[in-house]
Structure 1
Amino acid sequence: MPRPSQRDRILDAYTDLVVTSGPETVTLDAVATAAGVSKGGLLYHFGSREALLEGLLDRGRELADADLAAARAAPEGIARYYLRTSVDEPAAGSPVYRTTVAMIKLSTTEPRAAEVTRRCLEAWRAALAEELADPLAADLVAAVGDGIYLRAIVGESSRALGAAVEEVLRRAAPR
């Protein structure tokens, strides 16, 4: 596997600091140190704190779009994919999960982060509604998946719920 670019290492460090320390404590110096680059190296890629935030939001959009494309291509279908990965991604600490958590944390103080997060969630709900042909069922499945993510953020496992995906779908979206 190729080594991440300096730009990616900076975004990874920023994401990790936001997730572990909270957005209000993150400084450019802390990001540079965590990424193993000089502050000048950080500023070469991201000329300001705003540019760093925009880089993370761009990454969030790209990861969400790629994840939704993977769900659309998955033989299991979008709803099963959404519920399964809601359990699997937090357990594995996937880039999608880490970036989503960072965006949620940033949403408390950054309206742009809140908007990007809302749009990602809306895209998933629309895809679920398209597959399930029922907006309420889609919203219920999305709420279960989102709840699994929320539990993971606070350190609670949803393995039992993840093992019951078929039952969740049978109850939320009966055919």
Structure 2
Amino acid sequence: MPRPSQRDRILDAYTDLVVTSGPDTVTLDAVATAAGVSKGGLLYHFGSREALLDGLLDRARELNDADLATARAAPEGVARYYLRTSVDDPAADSAVFRATVALIKLATTEPRAAEATRRCLAGWREALTEELGDPFTADLVATVGDGMYLRAIVGDSSPGLADATEEVLAMLRR
């Protein structure tokens, strides 16, 4: 596998610091150090803190859109994919998981991150509605998946729900 570019290492470091330390404590110096680049190297790729945030928001949207495309193409269907990955992604510490957690943390103080998060959620809601045929049922599936995701973030794998996807979907489709 090719070595990540300096730009990708910077975005990875920024994402990790937002996830682990919270957005308010992250400095450009800390990001540069964590990425193993000089501050000048960071500023070459991202000329300001705002540009760094823009880079993270763009990456989070790209990862979400790719994940949504994978779900739409998955033989199991979007709803099953959404519920399964609500537990699998946090456990695997996937790139889309880390970007999502960073977005959520940033959304508490950064309106652009909140908007990016809403855009991602809207894409999933649309895909779930297309598959399930009902926006209310789609919202119920999303809400259950989001709850499973939150539990997985804190180390509770929701084994009863994770192991009963078919039963959960059947109940929500009633």
Give the shorter-chain TM-score range.
over 0.9
RMSD, matched Cα: 0.9
Identity %: 80
Separation in 1, partners of 2:133, 2:36: 49
Contact 1:87–1:159 at 8 Å: present in 2 too?
Answer: no
3-state SS, counterpart of residue 75 of structure 2: coil
Unaligned runs of at least 5 residues, structure 1: none
**Which shows bigger deviation, 150-159 or 31-40?**
150-159
Q: Deviations over 1:80-124 (max 9, x none)?
A: 011111110000000000000000000000000000000100110
TM superposition shift of 1:154? 2.9
Question: Following superposition, which runs of at least 4 residues in structure 1 exceed 3 angstroms of deviation?
Answer: none
Which aligned pairs between 1:28-107 and structure 2 lie closer than 5 A?
28-107=28-107
Amino acid across the alignment from 2:130 = E
Amino acid across the alignment from 1:55 = G
TM-score (norm 1): 0.97
TM superposition shift of 1:149? 1.6
Separation in 2, partners of 1:2, 1:160: 39
Q: Deviations over 1:125-168 (max 9, x none)?
A: 11101100011110000001111121223332223321111111
Partner of residue 138, structure 2: 138
Contact 1:83–1:162 at 8 Å: present in 2 too?
Answer: yes
Unaligned runs of at least 5 residues, structure 2: none
TM-score (norm 2): 0.97
Amino acid across the alignment from 2:124 = W
Amino acid across the alignment from 1:153 = I
